[in-house]
Structure 1
Amino acid sequence: MPRLLVADDSDIMRTVLLRLLGPHCEVVAVVNGQDAIAAAASQTFDGILLDIRMPGIDGVAACRSIRSGGFEGPIIALTADESVSRDPEFASAGFTDLIEKPFAAETLLNRILACFEGDQGES
């Protein structure tokens, strides 16, 4: 079972993601980019799901930091801002995929699990 780090500042979104992903992944949830960076540095994950717009350290800065720390697994951006994918900062941050909110539960689950195919145990 893949181990996934989820970082989102919304209590509701974290609850939705935990319920959706929990049967398929071991999920560790944190509330901001700083906590995501700390968790990625101190624990092993098969993949990471980062909300882009979080207070303090946002998802783009968190992704850069996590990548610079050596994490090579999939990092998926989650955002309600459709313009994010056109931002040069986003493009160079090191994300594997981008999923836009609102999302269909099945679509989110399939895209996240697809990132793990062939990456089991790597991080």
Structure 2
Amino acid sequence: MEKHLNAKVLLVDDEEDFIHTLSQRLEVRGLKVTGATRGADAVDLVDKQEFDAIVLDLAMPGMDGLETLKKIRENHPEAEIIILTGHASVKTSIEAMKLGAEDYLEKPVDMQDLLKKIEEAKHKRILVLRKQSKKEIEKILKSKAW
């Protein structure tokens, strides 16, 4: 029996049918999925809510995946971004990793590989949030004259 992964995922791809199909496959496994078909929409969504993982296509009209990655990283350096593309190249994979992508997968993706990457991204995010919370608590404790 497959375990359910409780995570919030933003799926960004210009192909609506792909988003719909992959969303259904992820939701059956316990994930809450939000879809965006444009990079600008993805940036807006990340500004408004938190996601455990962002699965981002590279080849999109308008703001492409690399530009979307840059924009998200500007305001959310802790975001866990996984590139999922059908237009893979060594150059784009290196560029994506330099810009802060956590991982790089090619379409068609093996569902178990994608789930594993999302689970890893969620765990990294939890660790980052715990570390931030600990720093904030320490700051508060130091500022009080007990």
> TM-score interval w.r.t. the shorter chain?
0.7 to 0.9
Tell me whether 1:91 sits opposite 2:97 in the alignment. yes
> Distance between the aligned counterparts of 2:76 and 2:61, measured in 1?
24
What do the CA deviations read for 1:48-72 (whole angstroms, capped 9, x no partner)? 1111101100111011100101241
User: Runs of at least 4 residues of structure 1 off by over 6 A?
Assistant: none
Contact 1:79 1:100 in 2 (8 A): yes
On the 8 A contact 1:78/1:101 being kept in 2, the answer is yes
2:85 paired with 1:79: yes
Q: Is the 8 A contact 2:83 2:103 kept in 1?
A: yes
Unaligned runs of 5+ in 1: none
Mapping for residues 45-56 of structure 1, pairs under 5 Å: 45-56=51-62
Task: Give me the whole-angstrom Cα distance separating, in 1, the residues matched to 2:56 and 2:20.
Answer: 14
Q: CA RMSD in A?
A: 1.8
The Cα offsets for residues 54-95 of structure 1, whole Å up to 9 and x where unpaired, read as 110011101110010124131000111221x42353232210
Q: Which has the higher helix share?
A: 2
1:35 aligns with 2:41: yes
More contact order relative to length (CA 8 Å, sep ≥ 6): 1
Aligned 8 A contact 1:33 1:58 in 2? yes
Residue 23 of structure 2 aligns with which residue?
18
Structure 2: state its 5+ residue gaps: 1-5, 130-146
Distance 1:120 1:2 in 2: 11
CA contact (8 A) 1:2 1:120 kept: no
Contact 2:59 2:65 in 1 (8 A): yes
TM-score w.r.t. the length of structure 2 is: 0.74
Conserved in 2, the CA contact under 8 Å of 1:20 and 1:109? no
